[in-house]
Amino acid sequence: MDLKDSSVQSDLFSQWFARADKELKGDAKNLQNIHLGEDWQTKALGISNDAVASLGELSTNEWSIGDDYMKGDDGVLNRTLLEDLMTGLESPTVWVQKENSLDFLEEVSLPHIQLHLRDEGGGFSQQLAQKLSQTRGVWSGSYSLTRDGIGTDSDIFPENVWPALVLEKAQGGKPSFASTWSAVSNMLNKYGRIILDRPIDLDFYRNASWNRALLYLAKKTFGEQCLIIHQYVLDKDFEGIRQEDALIRSSALALSSILSGARLLRLCPMRWRNDANFRRLARNIQLLLRYESNLSQWPDILKGSHTVDALVWDLIRIANTKPSLPNDK
């Protein structure tokens, strides 16, 4: 079997898509009991109890810097960014508009930061990523490319910068698979690491199954060492449905990818900050999904003993009943 053959790739993808679809929507009769220690939140954050107690509320994680940033600003923008960077829970998306955007980041005196950089094609993200790598040796992050601009000779990614692939308009079907797989495989072949910037634009169940089949094929082609991280954007993908349903569906997407070998970067809680109870639930869900050491205790989805949907409902139950973080309002 020649994995470089496009027909072989397409057939494998179709097989894995069908299997993933069945696993996601199968009839699970029993909920899995996930047992976590009382300190699971602290372990998921990777910081001490004292540090957790000082954090207070988390807030939105998307900023636009450049036009609306003035040097020396000590307003809400700086404080909310600092909180998210301290927790490691959020990796903010920064829309880079000006070359001097680095001035803003230089005011955040942390030894390690992780940002996701985007621009409208002006090249500022690449410039900022290179500056950060030069001035902060331990910095890690990513900047986005479109499918049309992928893998050009001008793209220089330092080892601590992750390239991110934007797949905002992909649709289902074999023609779309060929285009999508070409972009993903080219980037993995060149860099060995990738962030899929957002879920592909399909309905919920097909979305989760598509992402999972894509991960299977990437691992089969590039080996277990290939690194893929998924991000999930709630607001744009789930407009018109209840925020609770959006969280459940987004969690199912994320969990499906995690079980297939991806790592979760963030769930992008853009509108969670207006509801304290839902914000706590959403944050706990993200912490649970990040608590990777517990994954070995979860049932084997591939053997049909459980479905992703059922696991997500168990996650919701745990996130609702566990104590909130200190200083929750």
Query: pLDDT band for position 239 (50/70/90)?
Result: low
Residue 5 has pLDDT above 80, yes or no: yes
**For the chain, percent of residues with pLDDT exceeding 90:** 0
Residues paired with residue 141 on neighbouring β-strands, in sequence order = 115, 161
pLDDT tens-digit readout, 24-66 = 665 444 444 445 555 655 555 454 555 444 444 433 444 444 4
- Answer yes or no: do 320 and 189 share one domain: yes
- Answer yes or no: do 47 and 145 share one domain: no
Higher-confidence residue of 130 and 66: namely: 130
Tell me, what's the pLDDT at 98? 56
- Answer yes or no: do 52 and 195 share one domain: yes
Tell me, what's the pLDDT at 139? 43
Query: pLDDT band for position 186 (50/70/90)?
Result: confident
Residues paired with residue 163 on neighbouring β-strands, in sequence order = 143
Tell me, what's the pLDDT at 150? 44
- Answer yes or no: do 183 and 239 share one domain: yes
Kindly state the average pLDDT of the residues 251-269.
Answer: 65
CB-CB contact of 309 with 25 (8 Å): yes
- Answer yes or no: do 116 and 44 share one domain: no
In a domain, 234, yes or no: yes
Separation of alpha carbons 287 and 313, rounded Å: 15
Number of neighbours of residue 61 by Cβ within 10 angstroms: 25
Tell me, what's the pLDDT at 283? 61
In a domain, 137, yes or no: yes
Q: Which of 133, 166, 199 is the last residue of a domain?
A: 166
- Answer yes or no: do 51 and 182 share one domain: yes
Separation of alpha carbons 23 and 220, rounded Å: 19
Query: pLDDT band for position 190 (50/70/90)?
Result: confident
In a domain, 171, yes or no: no
Calculate the CA 78 to chain-centre distance. 23
Separation of alpha carbons 164 and 100, rounded Å: 22
Tell me, what's the pLDDT at 204? 60
Q: Which of 135, 166, 197 is the last residue of a domain?
A: 166
Question: Which domain range does residue 181 map to?
Answer: 1-57+176-329
**φ and ψ at residue 114, rounded to 5 degrees:** -135, 120
- Identity at 68, one-letter amino acid code: D
- Answer yes or no: do 143 and 180 share one domain: no
Cα within 13 Å of Cα(241), Cβ side: 14
Residues paired with residue 118 on neighbouring β-strands, in sequence order = 95
Separation of alpha carbons 234 and 271, rounded Å: 8
Residue 178 has pLDDT above 70, yes or no: yes
CB-CB contact of 250 with 208 (8 Å): no
- Answer yes or no: do 48 and 183 share one domain: yes
CB-CB contact of 267 with 282 (8 Å): yes
- Answer yes or no: do 53 and 63 share one domain: no
**For the chain, percent of residues with pLDDT exceeding 70:** 20
Tell me, what's the pLDDT at 259? 67
Between CA 23 and CA 128, with CA 235 as vertex, the angle to 5 degrees is 105
CB-CB contact of 289 with 254 (8 Å): yes
Query: pLDDT band for position 77 (50/70/90)?
Result: very low
- Answer yes or no: do 97 and 21 share one domain: no
Kindly state the average pLDDT of the residues 66-82.
Answer: 43
Query: pLDDT band for position 321 (50/70/90)?
Result: low
- Answer yes or no: do 66 and 28 share one domain: no
Q: Which of 166, 188, 206 is the last residue of a domain?
A: 166
Residue 195 has pLDDT above 60, yes or no: yes
**Domains contained in the chain, number:** 2
In a domain, 204, yes or no: yes
In a domain, 183, yes or no: yes
Tell me, what's the pLDDT at 183? 79
Residues paired with residue 63 on neighbouring β-strands, in sequence order = 94
pLDDT tens-digit readout, 207-230 = 677 777 888 888 888 887 777 776
Per residue, what are the HEC states of the chain? CCCCCHHHHHHHHHHHHHHHHHHHHCCCCCCCCCCCCCCHHHHHHCCCHHHHHCCCCCCCCEEEECCCCCCCCCCHHHHHHHHHHHHCCCCCEEEECCHHHHHHHHCCCCCCCEEEEECCCCCHHHHHHHHHHHHCCCCEEEEEECHHHCCCCCCCCCCCEEEEECCCCCCCCHHHHHHHHHHHHHHHHHHCEEEECCCCCCCHHHHHHHHHHHHHHHHHHHCCCCEEEEECCHHHHCCCCCHHHHHHHHHHHHHHHHHCCCEEEECCCCCHHHCHHHHHHHHHHHHHHHCHHHHHHCCCHHHCCCCHHHHHHHHHHHHHHCCCCCCCC
Tell me, what's the pLDDT at 224? 76
Tell me, what's the pLDDT at 17? 80
Tell me, what's the pLDDT at 93? 57
pLDDT tens-digit readout, 300-315 = 444 444 555 555 666 6
pLDDT tens-digit readout, 92-109 = 555 655 555 555 555 444
- Answer yes or no: do 273 and 149 share one domain: no
Residues paired with residue 195 on neighbouring β-strands, in sequence order = 164, 229
Question: What mean pLDDT is reported for the chain?
Answer: 59
